[in-house]
Structure 1
Amino acid sequence: MREWADFSWQDGEGGNGGGAIALHGPLLISSVGPLDRQLRALDQPVTSIDLSNAGQIDTVGAWIVWRLAERYGAEITGAGDQATRLLEVVQGAQSTADIRPPHRSLPVRIFGDFGRFMAGLGHGTMRVIAFLGAIVLAFGGMIRHPRRIRGRAIVRQMELVGVASLPIVGLMSFLIGIVIAQQGAAQLSQFGAESLSVNLVGRLTLRELGVLMTAIMVAGRSGSAFAAQLGTMKLTEEIDAMRTIGVAPLEALIIPRIMASVLMMPLLGFYASVIAILGGAVISDLTLGVPAISFLLRVREVVPIYDLYIGLIKAPVFGLIIGLAGCYQGMQVEGNAEEVGLRTTQAVVQAIFMVIVLDAFFAVFFSNLGWN
């Protein structure tokens, strides 16, 4: 049967309303519950606390005794060696900190959060600049010493970024070509200009959507892979091991991925545009009454060659952004496995955001050049 802790009260001398308390029984976390409630309900001052008849004591029991003595300024007597040590530990661990943090007003919280965001943005910008500088230096060293160029790693990454992406990029582009041709013809038919759907499909895919949708697909597929692979390697200290044996992670891991993205994006963008045009030709032949051969010949007539150049100019820039975002976020992983997922998500979001922003910039830039 469980033995509960208890106390006895003895009035003090002089009738000043105070008294002495003698504790009985084990002062353990399993037995001091009722005693704690009784001591909290005391409405008379306590002058001394006698522990000579108390049994075993643990940290919780020592804290209850010390709290009561601190509350009334009472003297603790009859404590054994164990009780004395625990009371000293509890007394040394006291803190004046608030149990709850102070509640700040809404304007203070808003400005504080904004300040922290701007400070983090500044620190992040400095880290990105340092990362870009390290890549430029490493790339310059590889140009001066061609033997340091890791051809096999570059080819392997080109296979992963480019060749392995052909099925999904092709399927996506084919469906996009179908949608543009079908919806464009449906809207243009109101003006009797269904034939202009060829212009719509050809120019839109070669100039904008072919490269843009490919970049978004590569960012979600390869950019996330870059961040996850490098983040996992950093978490498992493989990158530190590479530095220890004299292998530069920038040359062995990062530059091959960035170069593969830059080199494969123009090819993937052109491939996506061609497949989208084929999709438009197929749907035109099946539903719009325009033969596929006539559709393709018409594309060659109505699409200016500079639309192709615009797509090929934008593609390597998009590839560079995707490679940099994925590798940078992967190298920022620290602490635990959850960080890998967070950094991977940030890599994809940042890459897609920057691709769309740059695409808008290119659209305005080439329009000002007269390439409309």
Structure 2
Amino acid sequence: MSVLADFERVDSDSGGAVLRFTGNLSLASLGDLPDRLDRVDGQVARIDLSQVARIDTVGAWVIHRFARDREAAVEGLQPASRHLFDQVVAAEHPIELPPKPESPFVHLLAEIGDAVFTAMHTLYGLLGFMGATVIAFWNVATHPRRFRFHATVHRFEVVGVSALGIIGLMSFLIGVVIAQQGAVQLRQFGAEVYTINLVGRITLRELGVLMTAIMVAGRSGSAFAAQIGTMKLTEEIDAMRTIGVSPMEALVVPRTIAVVTMLPLLGFYSALIGIIGGGLLCWVQLGIPPITFVQRIREVVPLDDLWVGLIKAPVFGAIIAIAGCFQGMQVEGDAEQVGRRTTTAVVQAIFLVIVLDAFFAVFFSQIGWI
């Protein structure tokens, strides 16, 4: 039979009162004991549990909570009950409540703020890296023995020669698509012959160098970030600094020279292949023979379009190389950073290339090169 828990208050001459509990301090026998304990007035110095027959975790928690709030000492427990009581006391720890969810508007503003801060911080670092690259070029120019000829030639092959196949295929298909779409739209006005103007001018002036820059950013810019990032993880760059070799001169300068030199050539090559693709479609679909196509190209495409593409290409190349090398130098921690920085390098390079292309379009329009 379960004996209900009860207590009596005994005043002590030493100050404070003693609460003596009897019965079973278990869940089934507590009854209204917690409510009666809350109504106890005055100071309680000690809690006597020597006459308690049984105690469980719920009873131990009720006694511990009361003793904690009144700063009273608990005594009289049997060894087994004392062990249980000590376990309950040790298990007490504050629980952090989950934060109140933010409103969607505040959350959106926070994300926008974080994105702006990250963009400004990245731009600041990229500008600093550009300055370091210029200094490295100056050091190599004033000390020609530091120039790594073989590494630069190897980058020429990787960036330029190895990319001819994929860039040629891409440019050919883009030329075909431009010619086909242009012919479909111009046929409504009986002006299919102006498809030649469209293909010639847009490939030489814009798409040739732009699509080449995007392809090189995805192909070579990502490779630069991954290679340099891996060297950072394996501490090869720290070893280079230890032996007195500048990583900027040994790694960044050859890659930048290769991309800046090869991108104008690849852009011109891309434009030619795009014109060939457009000319082939004009021959098949519009019945314009290649001789007529070439003659029309020479008549309607000004030389300024070629110069526009060739002027933009080295700038795009410098942006791609610096963005890839910069992100590679930022790798720290683990291998996951290599993949993250490689992705960032490609996105950053393509974004900056498109922004600069828009700037060049406005600039050349203002000076009359349209």
TM-score normalised over the length of structure 2: 0.79
2:289 to 288, 291, 301: 291
Once residues 355 and 134 of structure 1 are traced to their aligned partners in structure 2, the CA distance between those partners, rounded to angstroms, is 21
1:71 to 62, 65, 79: 65
Give the direction of change, closer, same or farther, for the CA distance of 1:76–1:236 in structure 2 (3 Å limit). farther
Question: Could you tell me the percent identity over the aligned residues?
Answer: 54
Conserved in 1, the CA contact under 8 Å of 2:205 and 2:308?
yes
Question: Which position in structure 2 is the counterpart of 1:146?
Answer: 144
Question: Which position in structure 2 is the counterpart of 1:340?
Answer: 338
More deviation in 259-268 or 178-187?
A: 178-187
Conserved in 1, the CA contact under 8 Å of 2:4 and 2:31?
no
- Report the CA distance between 1:315 and its aligned residue: 0.5
Question: In structure 2, the residue corresponding to 1:73 is in which secondary structure?
Answer: helix
- Report the CA distance between 1:331 and its aligned residue: 1.4
Question: Which position in structure 1 is the counterpart of 2:249?
Answer: 251
Once residues 148 and 23 of structure 2 are traced to their aligned partners in structure 1, the CA distance between those partners, rounded to angstroms, is 81
RMSD of aligned Cα (Å): 3.6
2:7 to 4, 9, 12: 12
Question: Which position in structure 2 is the counterpart of 1:193?
Answer: 191
Once residues 291 and 4 of structure 2 are traced to their aligned partners in structure 1, the CA distance between those partners, rounded to angstroms, is 106
Give the direction of change, closer, same or farther, for the CA distance of 1:87–1:165 in structure 2 (3 Å limit). same
Q: Report 1:1-372 matches (<5 A).
A: 11-14=6-9, 19=21, 38=27, 44-45=33-34, 47=47, 70-73=64-67, 75=73, 90=90, 94-95=93-94, 98-372=96-370
Once residues 216 and 93 of structure 2 are traced to their aligned partners in structure 1, the CA distance between those partners, rounded to angstroms, is 57
Give the direction of change, closer, same or farther, for the CA distance of 1:335–1:189 in structure 2 (3 Å limit). same
Q: Deviations over 1:305-349 (max 9, x none)?
A: 111100000111111111111111121122222222222222111
Q: Which runs of 5+ in 1 are unaligned?
A: 1-7, 24-34, 55-60
Once residues 336 and 67 of structure 1 are traced to their aligned partners in structure 2, the CA distance between those partners, rounded to angstroms, is 46
Greater Cα radius of gyration, structure 1 or 2:
2
Give the direction of change, closer, same or farther, for the CA distance of 1:197–1:120 in structure 2 (3 Å limit). closer
Give the direction of change, closer, same or farther, for the CA distance of 1:283–1:114 in structure 2 (3 Å limit). closer
Give the direction of change, closer, same or farther, for the CA distance of 1:21–1:343 in structure 2 (3 Å limit). farther
Once residues 101 and 48 of structure 2 are traced to their aligned partners in structure 1, the CA distance between those partners, rounded to angstroms, is 39
- Report the CA distance between 1:237 and its aligned residue: 2.3
What amino acid is the match of 2:7? Answer: G
Once residues 348 and 117 of structure 1 are traced to their aligned partners in structure 2, the CA distance between those partners, rounded to angstroms, is 18
Once residues 21 and 330 of structure 1 are traced to their aligned partners in structure 2, the CA distance between those partners, rounded to angstroms, is 73
What amino acid is the match of 2:232? Answer: K
Conserved in 1, the CA contact under 8 Å of 2:19 and 2:48?
no
Give the direction of change, closer, same or farther, for the CA distance of 1:191–1:115 in structure 2 (3 Å limit). closer
Once residues 265 and 49 of structure 1 are traced to their aligned partners in structure 2, the CA distance between those partners, rounded to angstroms, is 88
Give the direction of change, closer, same or farther, for the CA distance of 1:154–1:44 in structure 2 (3 Å limit). farther
TM-score normalised over the length of structure 1: 0.79
What amino acid is the match of 1:165? Answer: A
Q: Deviations over 1:167-190 (max 9, x none)?
A: 000001011111112222222222
More deviation in 98-107 or 123-132?
A: 98-107
Give the direction of change, closer, same or farther, for the CA distance of 1:83–1:65 in structure 2 (3 Å limit). farther
Once residues 152 and 100 of structure 2 are traced to their aligned partners in structure 1, the CA distance between those partners, rounded to angstroms, is 55
